[in-house]
Structure 1
Amino acid sequence: PLVRQRERKNAVFWSPEKGWANPHEFENFDAVIHLAGKNISSGRWTNKLKDEIFKSRCRDTWFLSQVLMRLKQPPKTLICASAVGIYGEGFLAEVCQKWEEATRGIDRQKTRVLHPRFGVVLSPKGGMLKKLLPLFRLGLGAIIGSGEQYMSWVALDDVVGAISYALTTPSLEGSFNLTAPHPETNASFSKKLAKALHRPLFLRIPEKPLRFALGEMADEMLLDSTKALPEKLEKSGYNFRYPTLEEFMQRSF
């Protein structure tokens, strides 16, 4: 793995903040998978946090690309994360666009470059779902805003499965949506989660308090609608383990 602590054994040290890496340690890899980035929900989007979100994706990916471009034996495949936020407007869309552009200098004749555009990754052990579960189990789950906004989601198992599949599928290249085939509206997601946990759902959070509390983050992460489908990934031959939210919840709870 790529690490920022020199003490780690059996790892490649780099410091994108300082622009330092030893190119010799990057030689002869079959593939490089770069998914790192500052958590976009780690707090209200202050200018400082937005700068960290941007740099941890765009600057670090650009620096990694510069290192790989100079190798005598570059990796055959580079998988660099992106997100379905690229289809929106505002800060996240700009970040995602610059994120993907950061790999432009890599020679596609030598290295196959893929940008999986992640939806909301679901796992009871982390991320958004882990934060929601205690509230829904107490009967305090809520529909957000109108509830009509779509959320493109994907199970963590399918993230792992799709990345593994992409590594061994040479015909798949470029950007593709890594989202389940059946996106959900916020209302349908909330109702299905409450039902899976055998709890009622009667609360609704209006848009104005959310915007007051979270600013632009409320619109881009909670209120905007994103309905991204995995057409390219499915056409290439990938079969989702959890194509529907019901199947995911039945096996998770």
Structure 2
Amino acid sequence: MPTFRRSMTVPHPVSDVFAWHERPGALERLTPPWENMRVVRRSGGIADGAVVEIRHKKGPLDLSWEMEHVDYEQGRRFVDVQRKGPFQSWRHTHEFAPTDDGGTLVTDTIEWEPPLGAAGEVLAGPILEKELEQGFAFRHRRLAHDLDLHARWAGAPRLTVAITGAGGLIGSALSHLLTTGGHRVVRMVRSRSRATDGAVYWNADTGEVDTAGLRGVDAVVHLAGEPISGVRWTDAKKRAIRESRVKGTAAIAGAIAGMHDVKTLVMASAVGYYGGRKDEILTETSAPGKGFLAEVCVEWEAAARRAEGAGVRVVKIRNGLVLSPAGGALPLMLTAFKSGLAGRVGNGRQYVPWIDLDDCVGIFYTALMNGAVKGVLNGTGPHPVTNATFTDVLGRVLNRPTVVPLPKLAVRAMLGEMGDELLLKGQRARPAATLAAGYDFRREDLEASLRHQLGRPG
């Protein structure tokens, strides 16, 4: 029976590391973002008899795995065994042992039997071994990131946090980060039929917010908004982009302004606030720029004033390009790069204010936990790069050519105003206030971030 084993040491006690694995969201946090996997059903945690069902889309295959937890020993180990799935057998043993310096040795051991017996092992064995190496390297990096972040705020009270846009790229990652840290997450949904299992109804168009459902909530994270990319900006699309952000934020801010429970509002904004400023270094104190997105961002952020006026601590995070193959702009780029039809956009000198997804949600988490932080934080990495550099680095990580440029005229012809603002303009944004707030970036180097998020070893 083939066996895979990988270990890592983290400077945190076994009790903390094991507790992290027991909490909701741990499996989602450990799932590599390049794997199209989602949990569709679970019962119990990781104790004996608990079951989790996973759907895994891999190429043309749509696989279903049903795993049962067995051999649970508090603080020492738990085991996942396949009940139904693509393998003849699959057993994943998670073991935790204290180290002499008070840390934890985490060891993952997988014993598996492929379909088709010996022939399946010959055909699939090397491929699976490589995928496991990449997947567990990612898992261990992310586990270390999350444990370090939680340890920094271990002495702070656990929060109940309501989140709009909880199903999006940032919202889902933040939700699972919070729950693995012992916090409680309340989803805010825009459909009454989905307002079940503790979810809270709200409606950006009408301004309705179920404030009764927000009783006991300590903080609200507001992420919802009409997507800005994907289609040309018609007048109707621009109106939807503006109103979803401005009216939605006003509804949330107005609701919590009249409550005593919610003390903090952390809201998404965007570096589009600064407009296109070429190579000017832009920090949180820089003035707004010009253009449609800059105008929207100014109104968007201003819509939170009612909450600020009521004494709510408000943090506005101006996000840049969030790097993850699980969503956002990167999957669209990957299609072009993997086909070999990629290159710099325009003259390539416009800056790309990128940020690793783990650092992005880490900034939101810090904004929630650090009560001294308020105002604006740039949700960007410390080292923005030009489009030409970004193109070269992504091509190198994917081992694909980047020799097909996209001229400025072609961008404007195909995408109109959207292409001009999103692709041809850039922001050399630096997170000065974010660093001053004490956030310690995990991945400051673009290539390191892309290799982490895409599972591409250096």
- Asked if the contact 2:323–2:450 (Cα under 8 Å) also holds between the matched residues in 1, the reply is no
1:62 aligns with 2:257: no
Equivalent residue in structure 2 for 1:164, among 342, 365, 384: 365
1:5-20 mapped onto 2 (5 Å cutoff): 5-8=191-194, 9=196, 10-20=198-208
Summarize deviations over 1:204-241 as a string: whole Å, max 9, x none. 11101111222221221011121110011111111111
Alpha-carbon shift at residue 25 of structure 1 (Å): 2.0
Alpha-carbon shift at residue 50 of structure 1 (Å): 0.4
1:182 aligns with 2:383: yes
Alpha-carbon shift at residue 42 of structure 1 (Å): 2.9
Distance 1:172 1:43 in 2: 36
Aligned to 1:78: 265
Summarize deviations over 1:113-158 as a string: whole Å, max 9, x none. 0000000111012111111112212222121000010010111111
Distance 2:416 2:342 in 1: 22
Aligned to 1:134: 335
Structure 1, 7-16 or 82-91: larger mean CA deviation: 7-16
Distance 1:167 1:26 in 2: 16
Distance 2:451 2:344 in 1: 21
Equivalent residue in structure 2 for 1:103, among 298, 304, 310: 304
1:210-249 mapped onto 2 (5 Å cutoff): 210-249=411-450
RMSD: 1.3
Structure 1, 164-173 or 84-93: larger mean CA deviation: 164-173
Distance 1:150 1:2 in 2: 34
Structure number with greater CO (CA < 8 Å, separation at least 6) is 1
Summarize deviations over 1:172-221 as a string: whole Å, max 9, x none. 11011010001010000000000111112211111011112222212210
Structure 1, 45-54 or 206-215: larger mean CA deviation: 206-215
Distance 2:342 2:383 in 1: 22
Residue 113 of structure 1 aligns to a residue in which SS?
strand
TM-score of the pair, normalised by structure 1: 0.95
Residue 392 of structure 2 aligns to a residue in which SS?
helix
- Asked if the contact 1:74–1:111 (Cα under 8 Å) also holds between the matched residues in 2, the reply is no
Aligned to 1:2: 188
Residue 426 of structure 2 aligns to a residue in which SS?
coil
TM-score of the pair, normalised by structure 2: 0.54
Aligned to 2:15: none
Equivalent residue in structure 2 for 1:203, among 404, 413, 437: 404
1:49 aligns with 2:237: yes
Task: Answer 1 or 2: which has greater strand percent.
Answer: 2
Distance 1:235 1:21 in 2: 34
Alpha-carbon shift at residue 20 of structure 1 (Å): 2.1
Alpha-carbon shift at residue 98 of structure 1 (Å): 0.2
Alpha-carbon shift at residue 97 of structure 1 (Å): 0.2
1:15-54 mapped onto 2 (5 Å cutoff): 15-54=203-242
Distance 2:374 2:245 in 1: 20
Letter in 1 for 2:264: T
Structure 1 unmatched ranges of 5 or more: none
- Asked if the contact 2:209–2:251 (Cα under 8 Å) also holds between the matched residues in 1, the reply is no
Distance 1:194 1:5 in 2: 41
Distance 1:182 1:107 in 2: 31
In our comparison, the structure showing a higher alpha carbon Rg is 2
Identity fraction in percent: 42
Letter in 2 for 1:199: R
Distance 2:211 2:410 in 1: 50
Paired residues in the alignment total: 252
Structure 2 unmatched ranges of 5 or more: 1-186, 276-289
Letter in 2 for 1:7: S
Distance 1:216 1:93 in 2: 13
Letter in 2 for 1:41: S
Distance 1:14 1:200 in 2: 46
Aligned to 1:155: 356
- Asked if the contact 2:207–2:247 (Cα under 8 Å) also holds between the matched residues in 1, the reply is no
Residue 78 of structure 1 aligns to a residue in which SS?
strand
